[in-house]
Structures are given as structure tokens and as C-alpha cells.
Structure 1
Amino acid sequence: MTETPPTVDAYISAQPEATQQILQEIRRTMHAAVPGAGEMISYGIPTITIGGHYVVYFAAWAHHISVYPVPRGDEGLAAELVPYLSGKGTLKFPLAKGIPLDLIAKIAAQLAAEKKMGH
């Protein structure tokens, strides 16, 4: 995709059909985990926001979904994230393995809590 999509809907609709369904599930999961969240496109990818400030980004790739950044404040959650860590601040969830929506909900909730604490 060379042009930045204007909305999260446009971003999702530009993806392969199977990936669109997964992105919609992730989007719903993140909104449920972050009450009152908004959304926008930032850095060319979907972004869940609180009060206009980013909380969590997610993006579709050929073989995985990436979620950024990695939450820092919960050691139990950090241990659950180890298999998905990829580089600095990135989590990769392989499309072939099924997306752990419960874990994505925890990530979004933790990032929202960190944002509210000013981290």
C-alpha cells in the first residue's frame, strides 16, 4: 500500500479478505478493552487512542499482525508476550496460528493503563 489510508475502515478494506476479518476482531477487542477509545490512522496504520493520544497500533503484514508498542508495566503479561516479541517494541502474531484475542485485550488494557499513568 503506497498511499496512507484516510481511516481505519479504509486500511482494513485494503487488506486480503481473510485478514480483514482478523483485523476487525482485533479492532473490536481493543475497543472493548479500552473503554471510551477512539481510533485514527497514525504512521499509516490503525491506532487506538484515548483523548487523541495513541495507546496501541496494529498492522497487517503478509504472514502476521503486528501490535506496537510492547507494554512494560506488568511482569505476568510480559512473560505471556515472550513468544511474540520481535525487535524493539513490536509483537508479531502469526496469521497461521490464530490470533490470541484475549492476550490482545490484555495488551490494549495495559497500554491504556500505562498511558493514563503518564508512561
Structure 2
Amino acid sequence: MGTVDDYLAELDPADRAAVEHVYDLAREIAPDAEQGTGYGMPALVYRGKPLLSVKRTRKHIGVYPFSAAAVSVVAHELPDSDVDKGTIRFQPDQPLRDDLVRALVSARKAQIDG
């Protein structure tokens, strides 16, 4: 898989809007993040490390911050969502709140900044 833009171009319009919105919020927090890959997935890369990937699967959209600690920052705010150690899953018609995405990305960015 290629860059984030290449991946977005392959998605259905409804899925593309949901996935792209999460990436747009992440770019607000880390405007200098570049497109690349993380664990084989299209991702935003910050300071040479994967910051965030958002991917449509057969059953959901997954948000992968490459950090269980970053997920734990917002997990308590997502009691009705499907949250795993390093993943948050949602449906396009039930998107994540913008403030939670920003908090998730901020937490991951802070980890990378060390």
C-alpha cells in the first residue's frame, strides 16, 4: 500500500470522508507529519515514527496510533466503542468525536517527542 492519499483514493466516498476526517484532525495536531507507512499501513509519520494510521476493514474503520498508552488516554471516553489495546474501531455513521481524536494524536505525538 502506498501513501495516505493513495489509500484515500481507493475508498468508497462515505468511507473516504470518515477516514480523511481523522487524518485531517491529526494533521492539525502534527502539521509537519509526512505521509508514509507504519507496520505496512498507510500512515502519518512524525519525526520518523508512525503517528497514526486509519484503515477501513470489512467490518469497521480502525484507528491505529501505534501505542496502547495513547489509546488508554481516551479509552474511558469511549464506553460504547470497540476499543482494544492499540486500536479504536468505529463505523462511518458513528464517527469518533473530534476532541477525542485530537487527544489521541496529541498523546502519541508527545510520546514521540519524548
Task: Specify if TM > 0.5.
Answer: yes
Aligned partners of 1:43 and 1:99: how far apart in 2? 23
SS in structure 2 at match of 1:105: helix
Partner of 2:25: 29
Partner of 1:52: 48
Aligned 8 A contact 1:63 1:96 in 2: no
Aligned 8 A contact 2:14 2:92 in 1: no
| 1:13-92 mapped onto 2 (5 Å cutoff) | 13-68=9-64, 69-72=66-69, 77-92=74-89
The structure with the largest alpha-carbon Rg is: 1
Aligned 8 A contact 2:71 2:86 in 1: no
Identical pairs, percent: 22
Give me the CA root mean square deviation: 2.4
Give per-residue Cα distances to partners, 1:16-42, cap 9 Å, x unaligned: 111111222111110101232112133
Residues 10-19 or 35-44, more deviating: 35-44
SS in structure 2 at match of 1:96: coil
Aligned partners of 1:73 and 1:95: how far apart in 2? 22
Aligned 8 A contact 1:71 1:107 in 2: no
Give per-residue Cα distances to partners, 1:64-102, cap 9 Å, x unaligned: 221123552697634214443444311112223233222
TM-score with structure 2 setting the length: 0.80
Point out where structure 1 has 5 or more consecutive residues left out of the alignment: none
Point out where structure 2 has 5 or more consecutive residues left out of the alignment: none
TM-score with structure 1 setting the length: 0.77
Letter in 1 for 2:87: T
Aligned partners of 2:96 and 2:76: how far apart in 1? 17
Partner of 2:98: 101
